[in-house]
């Protein structure tokens, strides 16, 4: 029996960057953009507010681009302050590297297991196969997902891994942000 779990974002992640005003290191992006055109060149930024003092920082999305080279639907989404576009951009490693930021997904995601019948299939069949799919590139430890999805402690899951009762093709102790499967044996 194959169970499908989905790791879903619940809100935008926090942006990790030092605030110039108060030295805090966390900013909250809410999907607001600023677009500025100068003749045929355009600049665009994703705005984020400091969680402590409210100071605004600008994350560069477009810099001195020719207006004709920018897709019209991208411009429309920025003008509409599309939060889905902000989520896509915060997951983009090129944008994060260019702006020298990192993102913190703590508290910004949830695990959807499809129902409350966590270990009922394990009691009935002795083995459950689980496919974990990520709706966004959220780095999470598989041990944490398995513990939360099965209603176990992390130490209990690590003990099951050592005993060979949790098996996967990936390493379960590090962080992953891509789809994987695992098998849990009784």
- Quote the tokens at residue 93: 């490693």
The confidence score (pLDDT) of residue 66 equals 95
What are the tens digits of pLDDT across the range 19-49?
A: 999 989 999 998 999 999 998 999 999 999 9
Average pLDDT over residues 66-75: 95
- Please say whether the beta carbons of 168 and 142 come within 8 A: yes
- The enclosing H or E element of 66 equals strand 56-66
Whether residue 117 is predicted with pLDDT greater than 80 in this model: the reply is no
- Quote the tokens at residue 131: 């496919």
Pairwise CA distance, residues 67 & 32, whole Å:
20
- Backbone phi and psi for residue 2, each to the nearest 5 degrees, phi listed first: -100, 125
- The enclosing H or E element of 160 equals helix 154-162
pTM of the model: 0.78
What are the tens digits of pLDDT across the range 133-164?
A: 999 889 999 999 999 998 889 999 999 999 99
């Amino acid at each position: 029996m194959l169970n499908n779990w989905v790791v879903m974002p619940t809100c935008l992640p926090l942006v990790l960057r030092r605030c110039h005003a108060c030295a805090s290191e966390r900013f909250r992006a809410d999907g607001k953009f600023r677009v500025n055109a100068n003749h045929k060149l355009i600049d665009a930024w994703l705005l984020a507010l400091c969680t402590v003092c409210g100071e605004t920082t600008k994350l560069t999305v477009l810099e001195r681009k020719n207006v004709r080279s920018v897709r019209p639907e991208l411009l429309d989404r920025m003008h509409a302050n599309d939060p889905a576009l902000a989520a896509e951009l915060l997951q983009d490693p090129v944008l994060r590297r260019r702006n020298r930021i990192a993102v913190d997904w703590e508290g910004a995601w949830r695990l959807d297991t499809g129902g409350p019948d966590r270990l009922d299939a394990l009691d009935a069949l002795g083995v459950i196969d689980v496919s974990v799919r990520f709706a966004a590139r959220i780095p999470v430890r598989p041990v944490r997902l398995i513990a939360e999805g099965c209603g176990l402690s992390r130490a209990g899951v690590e003990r099951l891994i050592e005993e060979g009762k949790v098996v996967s093709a990936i390493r379960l102790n590090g962080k992953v942000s891509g789809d994987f499967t695992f098998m849990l044996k009784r």
